[in-house]
Amino acid sequence: MDIATMPRAGFDASWLDRRLQTDRPEYLDRDDVNERVKRQVIWSLDWMGRLLRDHEHLAARALPLVADIDAPRILELGAGHGALSRAVLKLRPTAHVTVSDIDPVSVADIAAGELGRDPRATVRRIDATEIDAADGSYDLALFALSFHHLPPAQAARVLAEGTRVAGTLLICDLYRPSAVVHLVRLASMLPFVLLPFAHDGLISSLRAYSPSAFRALAAHADPAITVEFSRLGRNQIVLARRT
């Protein structure tokens, strides 16, 4: 089976699940969208994360994975606003984080802010599908709320690259519910779709991967990669490791 054509709900997706997806890009993925709109979406994501304490909760879930390392080297991919890395450094002062994103504007904004002045942080532009780092350069890689932006072939590359440079890759992304529940979720978002944040949220939901899809992506990336699943509030946690 061709991984590039895999439905976001996996190869075993139902008829309805296969239709609850889209290739339409979010504002954050488009080059023809005003940077002001993109910054508004990023600000909204950061605000929502701070309101619900998503960054702190995810950092607290991730850090036990490197509890036995005195000064862990942590790579954040697709950082966007860098809030997760800030939370990691707050909870683990001895850590060193490499904060990265593929978007040069986001990287410049992060570098101009608090993380850019922190000696424990390195800010870099990195393509998560082709990480310029040697095997085992990091103790842990993180990818929060950005995985759904990637089509299946690129998503499989992130699993391969993240586990290559870090051994362990922790992904936090939208949880994809059953088709009927998904329909209800989408209907509740439609009245607000003219707002940039809601527009991208609706598309994000349609592009979210199911556990079945994650298993197929991992198998395609490398049969040695295993995936484990858990929940963190409204989101899904995927722990990918090389065996």
User: 3-242 has which fold?
Assistant: Rossmann fold (3.40.50)
Calculate the alpha carbon distances from 6 to 26, 145, 151 in Å.
Answer: 20, 20, 9
**Whether residue 27 has pLDDT greater than 80:** yes
Rounded-to-integer distance, Cα 214 and Cα 202, Å? 20
**Whether residue 175 has pLDDT greater than 90:** yes
Length of the chain, in residues: 243
Of 33-37, 168-172, 237-241, least confident by mean pLDDT is 33-37
Strand pairing report for 140-144 and 168-174: parallel
What mean pLDDT is reported for the chain?
94
**Whether residue 48 has pLDDT greater than 90:** no
Q: For 85-118, write each residue's pLDDT tens digit.
A: 999 999 999 999 999 999 898 899 999 999 999 9
pTM for this model (two decimals) = 0.93
Q: For 128-167, write each residue's pLDDT tens digit.
A: 999 999 999 999 999 999 999 999 999 999 999 999 999 8
Contact 164, 135 (CB under 8 A): yes
**Whether residue 42 has pLDDT greater than 90:** no
Strand pairing report for 96-101 and 121-125: parallel
The mean per-residue pLDDT over the stretch 42-58 comes to 84
Give the model's confidence band at 194: pLDDT under 50 very low, under 70 low, under 90 confident, else very high.
confident
